[in-house]
Structure 1
Amino acid sequence: MKEYAVYKGDEFLCLGTAIECADKLGVKADTIVYYTSPAYQRKLAKRNAVNPIIVIKLEDE
């Protein structure tokens, strides 16, 4: 299973599967996956958001 690391700005929020992270943040698992997409990255770049939620997909070893 893929794991994700979730940050808000520089603050670490959680680590786990999309479902685990979604439960912790109170969002859908699809939202966690969306946060890793190029579309979300473009949206952040346009907005110049302060302390945005950043999700990093961790590679399987």
Structure 2
Amino acid sequence: MKEYAVYKGEDLLAIGTAKECAETLNVAAETIYYYTTSAYKRKLEKRKNPDNCRVAILMDNE
């Protein structure tokens, strides 16, 4: 099962499956998936303060 870590800047907001993170953050699971996409990262590059945005990292389950 894939696990994600969701950050806002340097702060860890949630860790777990997309569904668990979504429940913690009160968003849809699809939002967690979106946070990991390259399209979202490109969108953040255009923002004035991208360090204040949420990002999700797919954790390696080795």
TM-score band, normalised by the shorter chain? over 0.9
Structure 1 residue runs without a partner (length 5+): none
Structure 1: distance between partners of 2:7 and 2:41: 14
Alignment match, 1:38? 38
Structure 2 residue runs without a partner (length 5+): none
- With normalisation by structure 2, the TM-score equals 0.91
Deviation readout 1:1-30 (Å, 9 max, x if unpaired): 100001111111111000000000000000
Check conservation: 1:5, 1:15, Cα contact below 8 A: yes
SS at match of 2:7: strand
Alignment match, 1:58? 59
Alignment match, 1:18? 18
Check conservation: 1:10, 1:51, Cα contact below 8 A: no
Letter in 2 for 1:21: C
Q: Segments of 4+ in structure 1 off by > 4 A?
A: none
Summarize the Cα distance change of 1:50–1:60 in structure 2 as closer, same or farther, 3 Å threshold.
closer
Identity %: 56
SS at match of 1:34: helix
Alignment match, 2:5? 5
Aligned length: 61
